[in-house]
Amino acid sequence: MKTENKEIFIPGPSGRIQAKYFKNKNKGSPVALVLHPHPQYGGTLNNRIVYEIYNCFYKNKFSVIRINFRGVDKSDGVFDNGQGELSDAAAALDWIERENPGYSQCWVSGFSFGALICMQLIMRRPEVNKFVTVSPQPNLYDFSFLSPCPISGTVIYGKNDELVKIDSILNLKKRLGMQKNISVKFDAISNANHFYKNKEKELASLIDKYIKDKITIS
């Protein structure tokens, strides 16, 4: 099933934010935001893993948006080392929530650098119900702000990730596993690198299964 891709521009803290958006027509549909990899290393909303995540939400009857962070393609502004990008993500979440009053659940997702912004966002937004992070980089970024992690979610990583030491992922897993009242599922994909070359279908299958297991549409 292919998504409908409507290009839109939404207001952001540095001007307009370029986005692709699908609105589900069912009343009370859940909403989701998908965040892309590092802008200075070619990350955009058209990244194929970002698209796979977006498509999983689409297939599961979400209204879903993916954005270009500031300074990427047609989005206004310049790269801001994560702080501005977090503000962009918050603005996109505000927008999709306003567009879908009465939504049943709110999910946030991100890939690589987008996974960092995703996790920072859930610390600030109590309405978010679940998260999906793909290839986080706890060896590069400090995830100690997850103290405690406020909600349950899933972390997916490649066993052959050339950019992330497995030890750093396992340490994150251990720390989150000690927290009560939440459950963070960690899934490893064998023979997968950071970008899931030739493993896109396996990645999409894991995300789809997690969403189906956890979603409840009122």
Predicted local distance difference test score (pLDDT) of residue 217: 45
Each residue's pLDDT, cut to its tens digit, for the chain (218 residues) gives: 455 678 999 999 999 999 999 999 999 999 999 999 999 999 999 999 999 999 999 999 999 999 999 999 999 999 999 999 999 999 999 999 999 999 999 999 999 999 999 999 999 999 999 999 999 999 999 999 998 999 999 999 999 999 999 999 999 999 999 999 999 999 999 999 999 999 999 999 999 999 999 986 44
* pLDDT of amino acid 146: 95
Q: Is residue 83 part of a domain?
A: yes
Asked whether the beta carbons of 218 and 211 are under 8 A apart, the reply is no
Strand ranges of the sheet holding 6-12, from the earlier edge strand across to the other edge? 6-12, 15-22, 63-67, 31-35, 106-111, 130-134, 153-158, 184-189
- Cβ burial, residue 160 (10 Å; 0-12/13-18/19+): middle
- Side-chain-side CA neighbours of 118 within 13 Å: the count stands at 34
Query: Is residue 166 assigned to a domain?
Result: yes
Instruction: Report if residue 209 sits inside a domain.
Output: yes
Number of domains forming the structure of the chain: 1
CATH code of 131's domain: 3.40.50.1820
Please, which residues bridge with residue 154 across strands?
132, 185
Confidence (pLDDT) at 19: 98
Give me the pLDDT at residue 183, please.
Answer: 96
Structural domain span for residue 93? 6-214
Is residue 48 assigned to a domain? Answer: yes
**1 domain residue, yes or no:** no
